[in-house]
């Protein structure tokens, strides 16, 4: 199929670790013979306006090749406080570029907001359209005044949508006013990269102590991931396990506050800050760990859970979005509590439980990228065929 991909979630030359899981899907779709036109609009603001993080976007070219995937980056004007107008301009620029070349057979908003707002223009052009939800692009947007109604209208106009979890699908079905309409298109995991490794060898490569439990937190250090709760729970665990360590793999605006909190709690020497790392290094962090701790307030279907299981490592996660769908049948892995002491108790029980790494890895067997692509292809064909 000739597929126009409209997205705001892909790695950039200045942010090579951003949205890698989205990149992997489209790399696999290209390998399966699909012709892709990937359009990733970027914001432009007048000098002195907009967050500092946008300054680095000026170094991104109009076209980039990201690990073999060609991506176009048209610019749209982004003004502070104009959330809906900005979203509409981003979608309009994306559609204009997507339709400028050879006509696509189908288009997809890979990350629902703001690209779902392309629905009207694509309908007028006669191009079938699928909206793909990943998490905050639906859940957060739907909770914001003035944005839920435009997102719902875009879903109804598109008529076709998919999501990475059943939980997220239910929300999109509700917004679109069509129960059962959405299709599950789960994320995949690269089981060649993420596999079981010997713990001691991984710790040696990372320069970590050989003894003592290592609790791993992987992801952006941002509010919805709630890394403060992870640190607070570890502080309670550390009182009982003096040789236990915590490692944060990722960066974000909360890092400074977290470092200060670790110092205040007397844990500065027991917390490691790895920053963002490449997949070939991340697999060593999973291999070195005794458990992954995920304390998100809101999730779609977290890739870090898939990666940890593929590496044979147990997971303790707070109940959020589609996380529980990945941990079904694993007692003690999903908790309803957000109270640090109770979370620490659950983590201690998980760490004390014998683990069969190969059995955990076997759970990831059905989550390969080929299975994900097959589900996406079916959803796209349904849109092209006009089915519901």
CATH code for the domain in which residue 23 is found: 3.40.50.2000
Residue 333 and residue 206 share a domain: yes
Domain-located, residue 194: no
Residue 43 and residue 174 share a domain: yes
Domain-located, residue 378: yes
Residue 240 and residue 120 share a domain: no
Residue 242 and residue 214 share a domain: yes
Model confidence at 165: pLDDT above 50: yes
Q: How far is 310 from 318, CA to CA, in rounded Å?
A: 20
Question: Where residue 48 falls among pLDDT bands split at 50, 70, 90?
Answer: low
Question: Where residue 53 falls among pLDDT bands split at 50, 70, 90?
Answer: low
pTM of full prediction above 0.85? yes
What's the structural domain count of the chain?
Answer: 2
Residue 247 and residue 140 share a domain: no
Which residues are CB-contacts of 75 (< 8 A; sequence separation ≥ 6)?
41, 42, 43, 44, 93
Residue that wins the pLDDT comparison between 227 and 19: 227
Lowest mean pLDDT among 81-85, 106-110, 196-200: 81-85
pLDDT of residue 388: 47
pLDDT of residue 224: 92
Q: How far is CA 100 from CA 19, 72, 232, 338, 360, in A?
A: 26, 12, 52, 49, 47
pLDDT of residue 57: 79
Residue 292 and residue 156 share a domain: no
What are the φ/ψ torsions at residue 180 (nearest 5 degrees)? Answer: 85, 0
Model confidence at 345: pLDDT above 90: yes
The 3-state DSSP class for residue 62 equals coil
pLDDT of residue 386: 66
- Residue numbers of the domain that contains 130: 2-188+368-385
Residue 322 and residue 216 share a domain: yes
Domain-located, residue 193: no
Lowest mean pLDDT among 148-157, 323-332, 345-354: 323-332
Residue that wins the pLDDT comparison between 363 and 289: 289
Model confidence at 95: pLDDT above 90: yes
β-pairing, 63-66 vs 69-72, is: antiparallel
Per-residue pLDDT tens digits for 171-216? 999 999 999 999 999 988 999 999 999 999 999 999 999 999 999 9
pLDDT of residue 273: 97
Q: What is the mean pLDDT of the chain?
A: 93
Residue 273 CB: number of other CB atoms within 10 A?
15
H helices then E strands: how many in the chain? 16, 16
Model confidence at 54: pLDDT above 70: no
Residue 176 and residue 47 share a domain: yes
Domain-located, residue 236: yes
Residue of 172, 141, 143 whose CA lies nearest to 158: 172
Q: What percentage of the chain carries pLDDT values higher than 90?
A: 80
Residue 301 and residue 376 share a domain: no
pLDDT of residue 272: 97
Model confidence at 52: pLDDT above 70: no
Spatial contact of 137 and 113, defined as CB atoms under 8 Å apart? yes
Q: How far is CA 214 from CA 89, 165, 234, 237, 289, in A?
A: 46, 29, 10, 11, 5
Length of the chain in terms of residues written? 388
Model confidence at 88: pLDDT above 90: yes
Residue 203 and residue 184 share a domain: no
Q: How far is CA 294 from CA 215, 227, 343, in A?
A: 10, 8, 11
Q: How far is 6 from 26, CA to CA, in rounded Å?
A: 12
Domain-located, residue 41: yes
Residue that wins the pLDDT comparison between 207 and 19: 207
Per-residue pLDDT tens digits for 371-381? 999 999 999 99
**Torsional sign, CA 143, 147, 149, 152:** negative
Residue of 254, 256, 261 whose CA lies nearest to 297: 254
Per-residue pLDDT tens digits for 222-263? 999 999 999 999 999 999 999 999 999 999 999 999 999 999
What's the average model confidence in pLDDT over 1-7?
A: 97
Residue 181 and residue 69 share a domain: yes
Domain-located, residue 320: yes
Domain-located, residue 33: yes
Residue 229 and residue 240 share a domain: yes
What's the average model confidence in pLDDT over 147-153?
A: 96
Model confidence at 387: pLDDT above 70: no
Domain-located, residue 57: yes
Q: What is the DSSP letter of 189?
A: -
């Amino acid at each position: 199929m000739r597929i126009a991909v409209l997205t705001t979630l892909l790695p950039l030359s200045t942010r090579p670790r951003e949205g890698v899981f989205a990149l992997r899907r489209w790399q696999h779709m290209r390998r399966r013979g699909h012709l892709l036109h990937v359009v990733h609009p970027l914001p432009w603001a007048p000098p002195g306006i907009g967050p500092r993080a946008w300054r680095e976007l000026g170094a991104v070219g109009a076209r980039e090749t990201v690990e073999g995937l060609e991506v176009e980056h048209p610019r749209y004007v982004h003004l502070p406080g104009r959330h809906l107008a900005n979203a509409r301009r981003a979608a309009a620029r994306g559609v204009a570029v997507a339709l400028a070349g050879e006509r696509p057979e189908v288009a997809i908003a890979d990350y629902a907001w703001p690209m779902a707002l392309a629905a009207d223009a694509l309908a007028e052009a006669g191009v079938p359209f699928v909206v793909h939800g990943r998490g905050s692009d639906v859940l957060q947007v739907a909770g914001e005044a003035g944005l839920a109604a435009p997102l719902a209208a875009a879903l109804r106009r598109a008529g076709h949508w998919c999501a990475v979890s059943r939980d997220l699908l239910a929300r999109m079905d509700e917004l679109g006013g069509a129960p059962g309409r959405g299709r599950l298109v789960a994320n995949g995991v690269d089981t060649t990269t993420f596999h079981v490794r010997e713990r001691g060898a991984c710790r040696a490569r990372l320069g970590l102590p050989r003894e003592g439990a290592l609790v791993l937190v992987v992801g952006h250090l941002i509010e919805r991931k709630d890394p403060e709760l992870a640190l607070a729970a570890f502080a309670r665990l550390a009182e009982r396990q003096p040789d236990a360590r915590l490692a944060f793999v990722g960066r974000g605006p909360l890092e400074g506050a977290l470092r200060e909190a670790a110092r205040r709690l007397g844990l500065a020497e027991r917390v490691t800050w790895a920053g963002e790392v490449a997949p070939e290094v991340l697999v060593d962090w999973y291999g070195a760990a005794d458990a992954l701790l995920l304390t998100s307030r809101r999730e779609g279907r977290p890739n870090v859970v898939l990666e940890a299981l593929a590496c044979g490592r147990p997971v303790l996660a707070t109940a959020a979005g589609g996380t529980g769908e990945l941990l079904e049948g694993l007692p003690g892995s999903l908790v309803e509590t957000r109270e640090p002491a109770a979370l620490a108790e659950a983590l201690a029980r998980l760490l004390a439980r014998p683990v069969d790494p190969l059995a955990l890895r076997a759970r990831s067997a059905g989550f390969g990228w080929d299975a994900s692509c097959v589900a996406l292809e079916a959803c796209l064909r349904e849109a092209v065929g006009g089915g519901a």
